[in-house]
């Protein structure tokens, strides 16, 4: 029998082990196992709530204003949107709106139309922003934590993780645009060693591109990586529980991947 929910445009990633971390969560006793597993494997991710009852076979994990999914063992991390094919609704977008009504979610909360029986036909977002966007100031972040690449009169900062599939797709989209990119790696998926290697490379931009392609980075040098510490602290302070997070040069923020058409329109609207 066809399952009525589908995880669309997602990546399933085995969670790597790590040290224990503190977290705040709202879960019943039956979810203690997954809570402990996620706390150990994602020590730098501020988990807020875990719900294994809403969607059969999946546990919804809230990290601040962001969502991801895992199995009941807390082994596989699934990043993407869950669609209910009976009601033709984007369950992830609906939950994101519940968690943070002011957050731009690309209009995906609207039910799919009859012409969109295949969720893969649905658009990742609108062609232009459709609501208020939070703003942050990047003024106090050190330049040493940013990888600069691309060129153009417009600028955008991206908080990313080198093992995040959507971050890789965003990297490709931005590479085809006339825009200066300041990429600030944060380690949400246990990738700090990769970020260190990229930051310490002689050619950071090339190293970042190779990291997204999961190519070897060669001999790893040692250097000052305190800029990465600053990135991660900034992300924690501002509730960046997922990647990518895109920040325009006027401080406007969008959480999650957006296609090139959206980015072009959004960047033109910088104030």
Count Cα neighbours of 165 within 13 Å in the Cβ-side half-sphere.
Answer: 10
Q: Domain map of the chain by residue range?
A: 5-121, 143-268
CATH of 143-268, one of 3.40.30.10, 3.40.720.10, 3.40.50.720, 3.40.190.10: 3.40.30.10
pLDDT digits (tens, 9 = 90+) for 61-79: 988 777 889 988 888 888 8
Taking domain 5-121, whether its CATH number is 3.10.450.70 is answered by yes
Mean pLDDT computed over 151-168: 91
- What lies within 8 Å, CB to CB, of 194 at 6+ separation is 162, 163, 185, 211, 217
> Phi then psi for 67, rounded to 5 degrees?
-130, 145
Position 271 confidence tier, pLDDT thresholds 50, 70, 90: low
Distance (Å, whole) CA 198 – CA 206: 9
Beta bridge partners of 35: none
- Write out the H or E segment, with its range, that includes residue 229: helix 226-237
Residue 45 confidence (pLDDT) above 90: no
Mean pLDDT computed over 208-217: 94
């Amino acid at each position: 029998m066809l399952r009525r929910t589908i995880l669309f445009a997602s990546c399933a990633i085995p969670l790597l082990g790590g040290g224990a971390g503190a977290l705040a969560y709202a879960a019943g006793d039956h979810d203690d196992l997954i809570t402990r597993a996620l706390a150990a494997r994602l020590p730098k991710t501020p988990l807020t709530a875990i719900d294994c009852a809403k969607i059969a076979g999946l546990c919804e994990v809230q990290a601040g204003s962001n969502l991801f999914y895992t199995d009941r063992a807390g082994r596989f991390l699934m990043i993407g949107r869950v669609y209910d094919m009976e009601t033709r609704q984007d369950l992830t977008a609906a939950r994101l709106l519940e968690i943070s009504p002011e957050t731009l979610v690309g209009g995906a909360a609207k039910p799919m139309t009859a012409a969109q029986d295949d969720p893969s036909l649905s658009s990742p977002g609108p062609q232009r922003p459709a609501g208020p966007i939070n703003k942050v100031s990047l003024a106090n972040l050190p330049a040493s934590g940013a990888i600069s690449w691309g060129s153009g009169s417009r600028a955008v900062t991206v908080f990313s993780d080198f093992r995040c599939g959507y971050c890789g797709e965003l990297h490709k989209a931005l590479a085809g645009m006339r825009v200066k990119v300041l990429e600030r790696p944060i380690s949400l998926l246990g990738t700090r060693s990769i970020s260190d290697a990229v930051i310490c490379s002689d050619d950071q931009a090339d190293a970042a591109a190779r990291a997204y392609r999961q190519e070897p980075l060669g001999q790893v040098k040692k250097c000052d990586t305190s800029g990465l510490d600053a990135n991660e602290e900034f992300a924690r302070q501002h509730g960046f529980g997922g990647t990518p997070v895109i920040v325009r040069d006027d401080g406007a923020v969008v959480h999650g991947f957006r296609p090139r058409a959206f980015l072009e329109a959004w960047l033109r609207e910088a104030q």
